[in-house]
Chains A and B, each alone.
Chain A
Amino acid sequence: LHLDDTNIVQLFWERNESAIPQTVETYGAYCTSIAMNILGNREDAEECVSDACLRLWNTIPPHRPNRLSTFLGKIVRNIALSRYRKSTADKRGGGNLPAVLEELSDVITGGDDVEQAWENKELGDAIDAFLETLSPQARRLFVRRYWYTDSIFHIADRFGMSEGAVTMSLKRTRQKLHNYLTERGFDL
């Protein structure tokens, strides 16, 4: 039996332990693919999903997310990124993330890291505003690559485009993002 988001969230609120298997049944594959893209290792990815479910159990309540997929996806992404940081320190793993990070270096200029939370919030808002300016298709490609950490091959397959066309679109969007942020005074 597949429950919708509202019902799954309600199970968490009721502290009903079936909330976790229901979540895994509905979003397990989705979450595993996000973690796999970052870590490149199925075993690590599945551990990430388990950790994410536990964190979800500890987060709901008090939270009541409207869209459980993205709420959970963000948790998985954060956990996988933390694991990636640890694994690179141990000289292991990487999935698609090393290539993605290399591409994102086009956007930054090597300035001081933005440390303050409020500055990160401003930058996050600016990135959201920038994404609003893109065409839906360019935005989807960008989000698939830099949020879902999809490979170029899978993005091209998903949208029926050539890999070259995807690469070119992403390159243009990165350049636009760089210009957009620097014009607004962000020290990247």
Chain B
Amino acid sequence: MKSETLYDLLGNIRDDYVSEAEASLQKRKTLPIRWFAVAAVFLLAMTAVFALPLLKDSGQPPLITPDTVSPDGQSLSGDTELAVSEKYVYRVDDTAFSSYVGGKVIEEKKVGNKIREVSVTAGWQDREGEPLSQETLRAEVYEIADIDSDTAVALKFLDKGDAVTTTYFYTLINPDGDLSSIEGYFIPADGGAVREIPEGMIFTSVITDEAVTEEGIVKFTTAVGTSSSPDTAPVQTAPVQTAPVLYTSEAYDPSTVIPE
């Protein structure tokens, strides 16, 4: 087949896909925001200060590891960009669960009976929490075995979102619930997926987020890096090893599900 034939065939896709793409003018703030490399030093230090206490017991390796900043905090490339990351958040519209905070994935065997189907408002936010995009997804709320639904429930999406799948059950935690009863079940929430980062680009993201601990909701800051350009030798930094678990919808690793 010639690519021209494929292009021709693509002209006959369903009308609603064509109009969906026409109707989706979502002007947003231009990202990334350029900072200076010295900011990386500060933010990585913040990572160590805030993230380490939260994660020292989690035993989970970071799925995305910053690898583009040298140990002395200097850029490995003259074109280093430092960017404020966007985060993907979702909230159940149903008032019974609207105050619940989205957590990580829970194993299916721990999921109990279905409570009901709900509508979920999801989307990307910038660092200040300002909405950048929004989508409405259908989902089902389930009980979690041995956990009061006033404390936490499981959420399974029926519609695929921009950074959530229809494959896994996600935890939804009530920050006002009895969090001691879920201690050991939940990895601190990382607040969602990190937007795709161009391959081969020196890039360090910063994400300010909330974590659910037995004490309640805790704010923390961390930095995320990605693959370096081909002629740049990546160097690991010490604070990076303690960064919170962050994931993308593509990179999500099911092996990191809730520990027993």
Contacts and interface: CB of A to CB of B under 8 A. Distances in A.
A162 B3 contact: no
Given A113-B1, A128-B13, 9 more contacts: A74-B11, A100-B7, A124-B13, A133-B160, A139-B17, A143-B20, A159-B26, A160-B26, A168-B199
B20 A81 contact: no
A81 B9 CA distance: 12
Contacts of B2: 108, 113
Contacts of B30: 160
B21 A147 contact: yes
B195 interface: yes
Given A70-B15, A131-B14, A123 B9 contact: yes
A119 to B, nearest CB: 10
Given A124-B9, A165-B197, A111 B250 contact: no
A159 B135 CA distance: 14
Interface in B172-200: 195-199
Interface string B31-70: 1100000000000000000000000000000000000000
B25 A137 contact: no
Contacts of A13: none
Interface in A125-167: 127-128, 131, 133-140, 143-144, 146-148, 158-162, 164-165, 167
B25 A102 contact: no
Interface of B: 1-15, 17-22, 24-32, 132-133, 135, 160-162, 195-199, 201, 250
A160 B13 CA distance: 25
Query: Which of A81, A103, A165 is most buried by chain B, counting CB atoms within 10 A of its CB?
Result: A165
Contact of A160 (B20, B28, B201): B28
B17 A162 contact: no
A127 B20 contact: no
Contacts of A134: 160
Contacts of B199: 164, 168
A157 B14 CA distance: 25
Contacts, number: 133
A94 interface: no
Nearest to A120: B9
B27 A160 contact: yes
Contact of B19 (A69, A124, A158, A165): A69
A114 B15 contact: no
B7 A108 contact: no
B7 A159 contact: no
B14 A128 contact: yes
A108 B3 contact: yes
A112 interface: yes
For chain A, what secondary structure do more than half of its interface residues adopt (helix, strand, loop), or is it mixed? helix
A45 to B, nearest CB: 16
B20 A140 contact: yes
Contacts of A160: 26-31, 132
Contacts of B31: 160-162
Contacts of B11: 74, 77-78, 81, 147
A148 B9 CA distance: 13
A92 B7 CA distance: 19
A102 B13 CA distance: 20
B249 to A, nearest CB: 8
A146 B7 contact: yes
A153 B24 CA distance: 16
B50 to A, nearest CB: 27
A135 B9 CA distance: 21
A183 B255 CA distance: 27
B15 A104 contact: no
Contacts of A102: 3
A167 B24 CA distance: 18
Contacts of A138: 162
Nearest to B6: A104
A63 interface: no
A66 to B, nearest CB: 8
Contacts of A187: 1
A26 to B, nearest CB: 13
A54 interface: no
Nearest to A73: B18
